[in-house]
Amino acid sequence: MYKTFTTALLNRLFTLAPAKLRWLVHLRLLHPAWLVLPCLWAWAGAQADMIIDTTRVIYPEARREVTFRITNVSKDKPAFVQMWLDDGNAASAPEDSVTPFNLSPPVARLRADGAQVVRLVYTGEPLPVDRESVFYFNMLEVPQKSAEENKLVFAVRTRIKVFFRPKALRGDPNQMMNQASWKITQKDGNWVAEGTNPTPYHMSFFNVSLGQGGTFSSTFDGGMLPPLGKGTVVLGEADKFVPAFNKIKVEFVSDYGGPIPVEFALNPGRLGSHSELGL
């Protein structure tokens, strides 16, 4: 039903679009491979006109619905977008994705400098009650026809997290980041920073930094620690990298998308081939 509705609505929305744009849109619907590597698209020179007014969506179970806005920042041209949710598979096509939410609208045409309210409604299907669940909101901006005949255009996708927060959970997750624990250990031939999250909330982080004393000189990519679980960040190959540090600083992400830096002490000592540093 979703696929039929989406296709019919897209056909209606894009009747005003140029023929070359229309074939690109329908090709996108047929080939989910167009979904992947949004960062590569951006690197290749694509410039998005569509923005989302939040970096993450928190859905408290007690809420009937949650809304947020998307905006076309272009001052002179409309934008065409397709939207859907996925459960963690970034390559899943909109028509194949199954999540316990109704999203409306699934497609939209926004005038220049226009905005659209996006609405999420939880359908009530069972989810864990002792921890958060995470899903992902996707927004695909379909490119406009280029004025240059031979110019390559790119579809730009934005993907943000949607956290479903059961009503049974207690405490403020923004105040719980220091409950995590970290250690440096070896895994699959690499040194990794391994974080343990004892709370029922997801802990996203922008980056981790290793330091000695009060100086942090080595920074690595971020990630997310699952509730009541563990996550790792690769630091370097075991035979090429010596983690001679006694502190790790993690820049966590708050519910509002801001940074929450927290420092963790690592036990001092010499690292052997199978040793580890931890709290």
Report the CATH fold assignment for 2-165.
Immunoglobulin-like (2.60.40)
What is the spatial distance between Cα 124 and Cα 122, in angstroms, rounded to a whole number? 6
C-beta of residue 235 within 8 angstroms of C-beta of residue 191: yes
Grouped pLDDT means (10 residues each) for the chain, 279 residues: 42 39 35 38 56 97 97 94 96 90 97 97 97 98 76 86 97 96 91 95 97 85 97 87 83 96 73 39
Residue with tokens 């696929």: 3
Q: For 71, phi and psi rounded to 5 degrees?
A: -135, 140
Residues in the chain: 279
Domain ranges of the chain: 2-165, 173-278
Retrieve residue 215's tokens.
């100086």
What six digits make up the tokens of 231? 């996550």
Tell me, what's the pLDDT at 55? 96
> What does the angle CA 272 – CA 278 – CA 279 come to, to the nearest 5 degrees?
150
Task: Check if the beta carbon of residue 32 is closer than 8 Å to that of residue 91.
Answer: yes
Give the whole-angstrom CA distance, residue 196 versus residue 229. Answer: 6
User: What's the confidence (pLDDT) of residue 109?
Assistant: 96
State whether the Cα torsion 39-23-73-68 is positive or negative.
negative
Helix (H) or strand (E) holding 20: helix 19-30
> So what's the pLDDT on residue 47?
63
Q: What is the DSSP secondary-structure string of 134-165? A: EEEEEEEEEPPPPSSTT-----EEEEEEEEEE
Give the pLDDT score at 269. 38
Residue type, 170: R
Residue 167 token pair = 């009503």
pLDDT at 228: 98
Gap between the Cα atoms of 229 and 239, Å rounded: 28
Q: Are 182 and 225 in contact (CB under 8 A)?
A: no
Token reading at 273: 């081939």
For residues 159, 163, 164 and 165, what is the CA-based torsion angle, rounded to 10 degrees?
A: -170
- Determine contact, residues 141/80, Cβ cutoff 8 Å: yes
- CATH dotted code for 173-278: 2.60.40.10
* Residue 8 DSSP label: H
Task: Please provide the distance, in angstroms rounded to a whole number, between the alpha carbons at the two ends of the chain.
Answer: 52
